[in-house]
Chains A and B, each alone.
Chain A
Amino acid sequence: MKEELFVSGRNIPNIDPYLNIWHWQIPIYLFLGGLAAGILFLAGVYTILGKEKEMQATVKWAPFIVPFALIIGLGMLFLDLKHKLYFWQLYTTIRLQSPMGWGAWVLMIMTPISIIWSASYLREVFPNWDWKFKFLCTFEAWVIKNRKLIAWPMAIYAVILGIYTGILLSAFNARPLWNTTILGPLFLVSGMSTGAATIILMSKNHEERKLISRLDLLFIAVELFFIVHMIMGFLAGSQVQIDAANLFLGGQFTVPFFVFVIILGLLFPAVLEILELIGFKMPIIIPAILVLLGGLIFRFIMVEAGQITRYLY
């Protein structure tokens, strides 16, 4: 039997007994980033494929959410900072090794792209919209003409943003639950899936909804595969990783993880979408909302659980 205790009575807020330095802001930041990545990726891809007419919600309406999501996301990052007045220094330094720095910069590039993209569709929503300045009109005309050209970097950046949301966590070697490379792809597909769900909620076109929900099914399948893969990887790893996996396999996060993430967030919506595909009439809103909630809760659980995993010496 081995027992360790603090003789000098250490009890630092948010560090002891368990690390809890990142609260609700970071999971929301990661969720919004993933959602934005999913929407922009699909919008970019369907623009490149020349499907603007058939996929109106994907290409035009859903991207309107993105600038708001990204700005709120950046706001969340800001709220998380404890030395807020010094925030600007994030943008006076480029440190390639720092995931936090990467995130701040990726969002800084992504937000203007998404604003330009949506602005170019503004006149389709408000036909009387007037840009007031001539150069804005010229710019708009240029963007409208070159949408395909913009769609490429947009889709690529969206993938970077999506993967980044996982890398922010996986770069921490000291937190065994996060320290797995699969987290990048896993958060990317999860983000794609929440993006697809948002599009489904906004689309009024039956064909489009069917296509996107079929895609969503694919994302869910890949996500489930990655989750199994992640847990198998942990179980084949060192003791700290086995302990990390056990948080979900009998430990304190087992119930929320399986009930809210696996069953309600992935399996149940997948079953509903399959039923819809084979011809049953389903209110497609239900799986979409479940996917969104599942994605959000998944990030909360990962951030919360990861912080209590550690090296015990």
Chain B
Amino acid sequence: MRYAMAIDTRKCVGCSDCVVACQTENDVPIGFCRDWVTETVDGTYPNVSIELRSERCNHCDNSPCVRCCPTGASHFEDGGIVLVTHNKCIGCGACIQSCPYEARYSHPDGYVDKCTFCIHRVRKGENPACVSVCPTKCMYFGDLDDPNSEIVNVLKNRKFKALSPEAGTKPNIFYLT
């Protein structure tokens, strides 16, 4: 099993519903977020292109954050989901330094927090909160090892990219372009 997400940058309208859904679902403290939406504008008027991306932890296959954690608080769960065990985390900040995507933050309670792919929902067979709430249905969540899954299908038929693959972390969030 290898969980991943594909996000359609052509359908996304930047409404930030995914951000709010995550904050509500996961009790993210005010002023923090586990996912966020960026807008990249390329070119000068009238030749401009805009790309909207909903970003979060990439649940990397080769994740530096798991490697550098001195206590094993950052670890892999089934399906390659990267999680932080709160009462094992000492808050040293090494994993925050190690993430090329700035996907982690220091929770006001001291431990490090980030996207969990809503593992509590996924284990019940549901989609992560961000995916299920998206009004344009631009996000696909699923198992890359299952040839019949929607995500494998969409990645087969569309052009896609990952963010900063040169950072070498083997990210698992793919952006359909």
Residues of A within 8 A of B (CB): 1-8, 10-16, 19, 21-22, 77, 80-87, 89-90, 92-93, 95, 97-101, 104, 171-175, 238, 307, 310-313
Partner of B106, one of A82, A87, A99, A310: A82
Return the 9 tightest CB-CB contacts between A and B, nearest first. A82-B91, A101-B70, A83-B91, A83-B110, A174-B100, A8-B16, A100-B70, A10-B36, A8-B37
- What residues on B are CB-neighbors of A15 within 8 Å? 96, 102, 105
Given contacts A15-B96, A90-B71, contact A4 B40 (CB under 8 A): yes
Mind listing 18 A-B residue pairs with CB under 8 Å? Answer: A2-B42, A6-B38, A6-B39, A7-B38, A8-B14, A10-B36, A12-B105, A16-B102, A77-B92, A81-B91, A82-B112, A87-B90, A90-B90, A100-B68, A171-B68, A311-B164, A311-B167, A312-B164
18 further A-B pairs in the complex, CB-CB below 8 A; given A19-B102, A238-B166: A3-B41, A6-B39, A7-B37, A8-B37, A12-B31, A81-B91, A82-B91, A83-B111, A86-B87, A86-B89, A89-B73, A98-B67, A100-B92, A101-B70, A171-B68, A173-B167, A311-B100, A311-B166
Beta-carbon contact of B168 and A173 below 8 Å: yes
Beta-carbon contact of B102 and A173 below 8 Å: no
- What residues on A are CB-neighbors of B87 within 8 Å? 86
Residues of B within 8 A of A (CB): 14, 16, 19, 31-33, 36-44, 52, 64, 67-73, 87-94, 96-102, 105-106, 109-112, 163-164, 166-169
* A263 vs B19: C-alpha distance when bound (angstroms): 49
Beta-carbon contact of B92 and A81 below 8 Å: yes
Partner of A3, one of B40, B69, B99, B110: B40
Give the residue name and chain of the A residue nearest to B33 (CB): A10
* A210 vs B40: C-alpha distance when bound (angstroms): 60
Give the residue name and chain of the A residue nearest to B16 (CB): A8
- What residues on B are CB-neighbors of A19 within 8 Å? 96-97, 102
* A183 vs B158: C-alpha distance when bound (angstroms): 43
- What residues on A are CB-neighbors of B31 within 8 Å? 11-13
- What residues on B are CB-neighbors of A100 within 8 Å? 68-70, 92, 94
Beta-carbon contact of B168 and A82 below 8 Å: no
* A84 vs B90: C-alpha distance when bound (angstroms): 6
Partner of B100, one of A92, A93, A310: A310
* A146 vs B134: C-alpha distance when bound (angstroms): 71
Given contacts A22-B97, A173-B168, A175-B97, contact A6 B36 (CB under 8 A): yes
- What residues on A are CB-neighbors of B73 within 8 Å? 89
Partner of B90, one of A12, A22, A83: A83
Beta-carbon contact of B110 and A84 below 8 Å: yes
- What residues on A are CB-neighbors of B105 within 8 Å? 12-15
Beta-carbon contact of A99 and B94 below 8 Å: yes
Tell me the smallest distance from the CB of A170 to a CB of chain B, in Å. Answer: 12
Give the residue name and chain of the B residue nearest to A78 (CB): B90
Partner of B93, one of A5, A22, A90, A92: A22
Partner of A98, one of B37, B94, B100, B163: B94
Given contacts A172-B98, A173-B64, contact A6 B37 (CB under 8 A): yes
Tell me the smallest distance from the CB of B126 to a CB of chain A, in Å. Answer: 23
Given contacts A2-B42, A90-B70, A93-B72, contact A310 B102 (CB under 8 A): yes
* A92 vs B90: C-alpha distance when bound (angstroms): 12
Beta-carbon contact of B38 and A98 below 8 Å: no
* A282 vs B14: C-alpha distance when bound (angstroms): 67
- What residues on A are CB-neighbors of B52 within 8 Å? 7
